[in-house]
Amino acid sequence: MFFNLNKLQKFIVRIVLFTFIVQILSYALFALEPVSKKSTVRAAGIDGFGVNAHIKQRYYNEKATAFSKMTTAGVQTAREQFIWGDIEISNNNWVYTQYDQLAQDYDTNSISPLGLLAYGTDWASTYPGQSDSDMYLPNLDAWADFVQHTVERYDGDGNSDVPGGYVISDWEMWNEPNHSGYFKLAPGTNPNNTYYWYGQLLKRGYQAAKAANPNANVVFGGTSGSDVSFIKNVVDQSGGVYFDTMAIHPYRDFGKPEEFKTGQDTLQYQLGQVISLAKNYGNKPIWLTEIGWNTDVPGLTETIKANYLARTFQIALSMPLVQKIFIYDLKDAGDGFGLINSSWSNKTSYSTYQTLISKLSGGSFSGREDVVSQTTIDDVESGGINWNVLRFNSATGNVSRVSDHYSGSAGLKIEYNHDNSSNAYTYLYKPVSIGSGNPIISMALKGTNDFNMVIRVRLRDATGEVFQGIASRSPYNEWQYVTANFNDADQRAVHWDGNNDGVLDGNITFEGIILDKNESIGSNGLIYLDDVKYFHDSNYLQKYIFTNNNHNITCLWAASGSVTQSVNVGSSQIALTSRDGSISYPSAPGGVLSHNFSESIAYVEPTYSSSFQSKSNASTIVMNEGDSPSDVWLKFTNTGLANWYGTGSGSNPKVILKTDNSLGRSSAFSHSSWYHESDQPAMLDESTVAPGAVGTFSFTLGVPSGATAGVYRERFRPIADGTSDMNSVSDAYLDVAYIPTVSSASELNNLVDPRTNPSGYGFWWDYGIPNNTIYRDWFFTQVVPNNSYLYSML
């Protein structure tokens, strides 16, 4: 459409283009990094580093020291017992003075308290006059009143609140109600059923807490051990799920978290069962409100305790739904559980916890990787079913090869229905010779949260002796990597036939995998199976990867003893932080670290790392052909472990800004003032930028000549010049709209077809040609990630 030319000497050619995809230009490429098939990415922001403090109960007069110790370590949440008998000393006679002060102290120190509402009080006990009357079931009306009154005081709604309005949102209902010493029923209680009565206490407490504060987080009373049967029975007999968060106390009788122990399994198996149950109740979060190790036990040293602590967090935080872990406890109280001695001096476990928190707080779990070489029994990639499927005692089901998989392109789907009146089970039989010695059988599983499912592994030695170990209990409905480690004595505890000596003699045959169940309880559902393998290594290396501060933290330790191994750590310039926080800088040529690893965790990170902070131009920079160059800057936070050096820093290795995607790409907007050619615009402005500080890169964008009209996303990242590249930073870009000189309508038509775009969408424009000059204001609408799109040309 043409307009009055006299009014168009400064008229603008306008284009409205809603989804017009243009060809990716050679100097504006975007790339996605592939995600490992074995990566289980978790939500960012781990904030679950807790401790059992119990300041009011144990050392109120030294609370300033206690808070100093917690804040120095980086503790984020603390379990504090709200003792009913200390608060409501008689019916409706309330004394909160010290708890009010603690609420303020927790707020001042930015530590979130978990209020443990326990135990009872003699005046409200169903069995008063006893030395332990507070451990007996209380009068439930009095209990509900105590809960509602206390939750209301700390809900921050301005009604009957603590002076200052300090908020406590998390409330745990009793402690270890499955333990006969902590939750008792008076003689003659009817029904004489702990499940039922704790269910009633939980229900009344839940209702009272929600009446006071609908946003309160009601926590199931942490069970002694991972007692999923107790939790399930409580839910069944109370008629509902009267909690927001599930809590357990998975003490391991001072064993390694990776070690299989009869009655406790491994920590991974324990948590797996809890996860399966929590998923059945609507994906309830899981808190470990107590876990710890007592160094008063002979043979359990402070060093061993520190190692177990760090490894427990690695394993637990890698698993779905596990959110918070509360170490038992802060300070020794007549035993050796504390992170701190009774004299308030730090133990080895304190510095270990401090280092752990500094590395993982605010991060997320990225995945675990196999380091040891394994031999495949079945990867389910070849056609057909490679197992002889046997069913016993009325078991029914079906086995098929499906596309749902852990790696590769296929997995095995096993449908099972095991009758509740017999010992029904399904046996996947596939005999394979796996050499001599105690093997480790690994596999990937996914279940359907069947509470009664047990996955067993069967081996036979050269004498004909059969061994049956456990790989998993109640597999939940996400892919999980599990092992049956026959180096653990308790994995070899079930054996029969042959010489029956409990020793795996001579050449070993892997015979198969059993889908089993608890006796006299029905079990039905699905199991998905993939990547069944074996290896021999009694102290194999564990590798867990977390992401924090925009880079990976690779956590490595030997399951037993020590092992020298070469591990891919992703960067040639690395920092290795030991359990106590000390840092070394070993060489890792090609990103491979060769190191002697022990049972103490090593945290491996790139020495250099950055995160984007800000930029000079948040909106698109407009460049007309012939314009003056544009001065710009980008700021980055040093998230690595080494200083950055820049202008005026002498001979130290410099940190420079380089074009990215792909790294070192020649930029069409380079300028003669750039630090080095067309791919390195600037050196760090500051002479030194310490870890945690912000550095600036200032430079000039040149105006190209003869380039195609469009909006270009120019990406950048800092690198340590001549030392190591840093991580890519997704937000570190500048958008530049380039508008070349256009001298005729036909030339304009060559830029954009005025009738229809390649995607079939219509659009319009207006233009005029006064004195053979085109005046223009271009409007484009959007950018789709990882492609060049014309999207906002002003």
Q: How far apart are CA 669 and CA 614, in angstroms?
A: 20
Q: How far apart are CA 422 and CA 2, in angstroms?
A: 88
Contact 294, 300 (CB under 8 A): yes
Which helix (DSSP H) or strand (DSSP E) does residue 229 occupy?
Answer: helix 228-238
Which helix (DSSP H) or strand (DSSP E) does residue 189 occupy?
Answer: none
Residue type, 475: P
Report the 3 state secondary structure along 33-46.
CCCCCCCCCCCCCC
Q: Is 128 found in the same domain as 270?
A: yes
pLDDT attached to residue 519: 74
Residue 662 inside a domain? The answer is yes
454, β-bridge pairs: 473, 516
Q: What is the DSSP-derived secondary structure letter of residue 187?
A: T
Q: What is the DSSP-derived secondary structure letter of residue 79?
A: E
Question: Which structural domain range is residue 661 located in?
Answer: 5-35+610-780
Query: Token pair 């308290």 is at which residue?
Result: 113
Q: Is 262 found in the same domain as 219?
A: yes
Residue 255 inside a domain? The answer is yes
Closest CA to 451 of 703, 231, 298, 652: 231
Write down which residue in 535, 562, 585 finishes a domain. 535
Q: What is the DSSP-derived secondary structure letter of residue 155?
A: S
Q: Is 379 found in the same domain as 236?
A: no
pLDDT attached to residue 264: 85
Structural domain total, the chain:
3
Q: Is 648 found in the same domain as 516?
A: no
Q: Is 120 found in the same domain as 152?
A: yes
Low-confidence residues in the chain, pLDDT < 50: 1-44, 744-794
DSSP string, 248-274: EE---TT--TTS-BTTTB-HHHHHHHH
Q: What is the DSSP-derived secondary structure letter of residue 492?
A: G
Write down which residue in 514, 535, 556 finishes a domain. 535
Backbone angles phi, psi at 479, to 5 degrees: -60, 135
Give the SS3 label for residue 349: helix
112, β-bridge pairs: 77
Closest CA to 66 of 55, 82, 81, 50: 55
Q: How far apart are CA 453 and CA 167, in angstroms?
A: 42
Q: How far apart are CA 273 and CA 404, in angstroms?
A: 22
Q: Is 118 found in the same domain as 218?
A: yes
Closest CA to 526 of 461, 475, 581: 475
Burial class from Cβ neighbours inside 10 Å (0-12, 13-18, 19+) for residue 409 reads exposed
- Angle at CA of residue 689, ends 687 and 693, nearest 5°: 150
Residue 302 inside a domain? The answer is no
pLDDT tens-place string over residues 686-698: 999 999 999 999 9
DSSP string, 392-433: ETT-EEEEEEES--SSTT-EEEEEEEE-TTTT-EEEEEEEEE
Query: Token pair 């310490």 is at which residue?
Result: 690
Rounded to the nearest 10 degrees, what angle do helices 348-360 and 302-317 cross at? Answer: 20
Q: What is the DSSP-derived secondary structure letter of residue 647?
A: T
CATH (domain of 55): 3.20.20.80
How long, in residues, is the chain?
794
pLDDT attached to residue 738: 86
Contact 577, 569 (CB under 8 A): no
Contacts of 300 (CB under 8 A, 6+ apart): 254, 293, 294, 336
- Angle at CA of residue 170, ends 168 and 172, nearest 5°: 125
pLDDT attached to residue 448: 96
For residue 455, count other CB atoms closer than 10 A to its CB: 23
CATH (domain of 381): 2.60.120.430
Phi-psi region of 27 (alpha: psi -120 to 50; beta: other; left: phi over 0): alpha
Q: Is 328 found in the same domain as 387?
A: no
Residue 605 inside a domain? The answer is no
712, β-bridge pairs: 736
Q: Give the C-alpha distances (Å, rounded to integers) separating 467 from 470, 492, 550.
A: 10, 6, 46
Q: Is 489 found in the same domain as 464?
A: yes
Q: Is 54 found in the same domain as 26?
A: no
Write down which residue in 535, 563, 578 finishes a domain. 535
pLDDT attached to residue 38: 34
Backbone angles phi, psi at 68, to 5 degrees: -60, -45
pLDDT attached to residue 731: 87
Which helix (DSSP H) or strand (DSSP E) does residue 352 occupy?
Answer: helix 348-360
Q: Is 286 found in the same domain as 217?
A: yes
Q: Is 132 found in the same domain as 67?
A: yes
398, β-bridge pairs: 415
Closest CA to 551 of 588, 498, 587, 604: 604
Q: Is 768 found in the same domain as 719?
A: yes
Q: How far apart are CA 228 and CA 449, in angstroms?
A: 12
Strand order, beta sheet including 602-606? 364-368, 541-548, 551-558, 602-606, 574-577, 583-584
pLDDT attached to residue 752: 43
* Helical segments of 665-762, H only: 745-751
Rg (CA), the chain: 32
Residue 766 inside a domain? The answer is yes
Residue 441 inside a domain? The answer is yes
Contacts of 190 (CB under 8 A, 6+ apart): none
- State the pTM of this model: 0.86
Residue 595 inside a domain? The answer is no
Residue 730 inside a domain? The answer is yes
